Structure 1
Amino acid sequence: MSSEPTVGRDLGARPGRLVDATCEPVNAIQAPGTPERDWIRWRGLDGLPRIAPATAGGLVVVAAHPDDEVLGVGGLVASTSAAGERVRVVVLTDGEASHPDGPIPPAELAARRVGESTRALAVLSAGGPAVEIVRLGLPDTGVAAHEAAARAALVELLAGYALCAAPWSGDLHADHEAAGRIAAAACAAAGTPLVEYPVWMWHWAGPEDPRVPWARAVRIDLTDDGARRKRRAIACFVSQIAPPAPGTDDRVILPPEELAHFERDFEVLFR
């Protein structure tokens, strides 16, 4: 997840939520979000069709930024690895723009986020095959300008895998939407089934929101071990769940009310 300045569909200038009392909401993502209690009370989530918590034949996960892969499908990654299947994670950017105009140089912030992602994926795969990580190094906030090259690279990276999971192309974040388009085109070319995972949707949408393709939604009920591993992996993303430079830059991308959407014992995908 990232809250860098960028332009997404139907958005203003900054599709990300930096918790800062001086910051006025300017778009659907920065505006106050839907509380997790509203989602959990909605019977629609419990009524979604269930699919298996692990992927036979191997899984490729596409992420726009380091942490999207864990927030969106960390439980699926953990369960697939625990079943002895291969998991390859393709991260399009290093997330260097998550705190624009902050005191941490972009290269240092990128290094932090890459390290956090590497540790988180090690937590998810402990006891199973190590997750393979491929980082394409595209510019954070600029994925859409590199769709053709990323699509060509992903077609090759999908070879031999049974399923691809990628950000939902309607997530109202420019990089997430570009990642979804890239994955859809690559999967079509490679003949690989695709599922999409929402990230920011849990913030800006609400139960029965007509902008969300609920008819395509399915649910993965995580194993106890998969849910525990996912929560531990999320905790690795210190740069996103705590101020990156306390006293100098106190902005938080993922405060507790946002993390609650991803600490459930289930995940939702669109297929």
Structure 2
Amino acid sequence: MKPASLSEGRRGPAQIWNSAPQLAHIPIIALTSLVTPGARVVVIAPHPGDEVLACGGLLQLLSTREHPLQLISITDGSASHPGSNVWPARRLSVVRPQESVEALRRLGMPLHSLKWIRGGFLDNALPAREQPMSQFIARYLQPGDVVLTTWRNDGNADHDAVGRASAKACSLVGAQLYELPIWAWHCPAREGAVIPWQRARKVRLDSWSVARKLHAAHAYASQLAGDPQIGLAPMLAQELLERMREPYEIVFV
């Protein structure tokens, strides 16, 4: 799938796959089948907030089972508002990680025991750093870890690069990789690439988990606000927030 630019997503992503008939036929997977009891779970987020958009509900379920958790934020998300005087990169480099802290608090995550690694890679420039990024990720993985990250064909260049780099790191270390789509639900198939329905599995969420996930997403004030002065629409479009109301999360196994 050709990577979609951030500006494509801002124009109001169409509900391309949200009504696909294949959704109804995706098998349910039990949490214990996805993550073996006692396994450490590592979530790798290209930008602050991707951990909530991709698997906020799943993170809640895992925290109640007392799985050891580690979050790796590859970038600080400071390039989300290019050209903005309201949200310059210097401000965003501080604000977006702070928003993640609040979002995780809203999810009920154990912040006192959550190991959080910040990669410091340049936002919106990850494809060129895929090899060092893979080496960086591998340093923080252990054999038997369960790794959750963005799908390598998600349609955003940074998401795709992190998916590929995570796959390489998991293969090197001996960790289990699961990929999750975010932007892909709102992007048309490009160049023959489509959603890998045969790999898709549903993790059920109850209404409480869905509500908390939405509440957490709204902690990202910077992403809910664009910059009208320069015609910049919000990163978190209404269509994306609406999709988060679904009573499940989809994982590619």
CA deviation profile, 1:54-89 (whole Å, cap 9, x unmatched): 633121111111111100111111110111111111
Distance 2:176 2:110 in 1: 27
How far the C-alpha of 1:155 sits from its partner, in A, is: 1.5
Q: 2:54, 2:180 within 8 Å by CA — same for their partners in 1?
A: yes
In the alignment, is residue 252 of structure 1 matched against residue 234 of structure 2? yes
Q: 1:58, 1:163 within 8 Å by CA — same for their partners in 2?
A: yes
Matches within 5 A, 1:99-114: 99-103=81-85, 104-114=87-97
Q: What percent of counterpart residues are identical?
A: 30
Distance 1:62 1:116 in 2: 17
Q: 1:59, 1:86 within 8 Å by CA — same for their partners in 2?
A: yes
Kindly tell me: are residues 261 and 192 of structure 1, through their superposed partners in 2, closer, same or farther at Cα, counting changes over 3 Å? same
Match for 2:14: what amino acid?
T
Give the aligned partner of residue 188 of structure 2: 205
Distance 2:2 2:230 in 1: 32
Instruction: Count the aligned residue pairs.
Output: 246
For normalisation by structure 1, the TM-score amounts to 0.81
Give the aligned partner of residue 10 of structure 1: 2
Q: 1:59, 1:161 within 8 Å by CA — same for their partners in 2?
A: no
CA deviation profile, 1:106-141 (whole Å, cap 9, x unmatched): 111121111111111222234687432211010001
Query: Which residue of 234, 237, 247 maps to 1:265?
Result: 247
Distance 2:153 2:237 in 1: 23
Listed as ranges, the gaps of 5+ residues in structure 2 are none
Q: 1:123, 1:232 within 8 Å by CA — same for their partners in 2?
A: yes
- The higher-RCO structure (CA 8 Å, 6+ apart) is 2
How far the C-alpha of 1:190 sits from its partner, in A, is: 1.1
Give the aligned partner of residue 51 of structure 2: 69
Give the aligned partner of residue 152 of structure 2: 169
1:118 is paired with a residue whose SS is: helix
2:6 is paired with a residue whose SS is: coil
Query: Which residue of 66, 70, 94 maps to 2:76?
Result: 94
Matches within 5 A, 1:1-271: 10-11=2-3, 15-17=5-7, 29=9, 33-35=13-15, 39=18, 41-53=19-31, 55=35, 56=37, 57-103=39-85, 104-126=87-109, 130-159=113-142, 162-205=145-188, 211-243=194-226, 251-271=233-253
Give the CA RMSD over aligned residues.
2.5
Match for 1:44: what amino acid?
Q
Q: 1:167, 1:197 within 8 Å by CA — same for their partners in 2?
A: yes
CA deviation profile, 1:131-183 (whole Å, cap 9, x unmatched): 32211010001112222222122123121653101110001211111100110
Q: 1:240, 1:252 within 8 Å by CA — same for their partners in 2?
A: yes
Distance 1:125 1:145 in 2: 35
Q: 2:14, 2:239 within 8 Å by CA — same for their partners in 1?
A: no
Distance 2:163 2:59 in 1: 18
How far the C-alpha of 1:269 sits from its partner, in A, is: 1.2
Match for 2:216: what amino acid?
A
CA deviation profile, 1:220-241 (whole Å, cap 9, x unmatched): 1113332222111111111111
1:152 is paired with a residue whose SS is: helix
Distance 2:244 2:70 in 1: 21
- Bigger shift: 111-120 or 54-63? 54-63
How far the C-alpha of 1:105 sits from its partner, in A, is: 2.3
Kindly tell me: are residues 223 and 87 of structure 1, through their superposed partners in 2, closer, same or farther at Cα, counting changes over 3 Å? farther
Q: 1:53, 1:223 within 8 Å by CA — same for their partners in 2?
A: no
Match for 2:82: what amino acid?
P
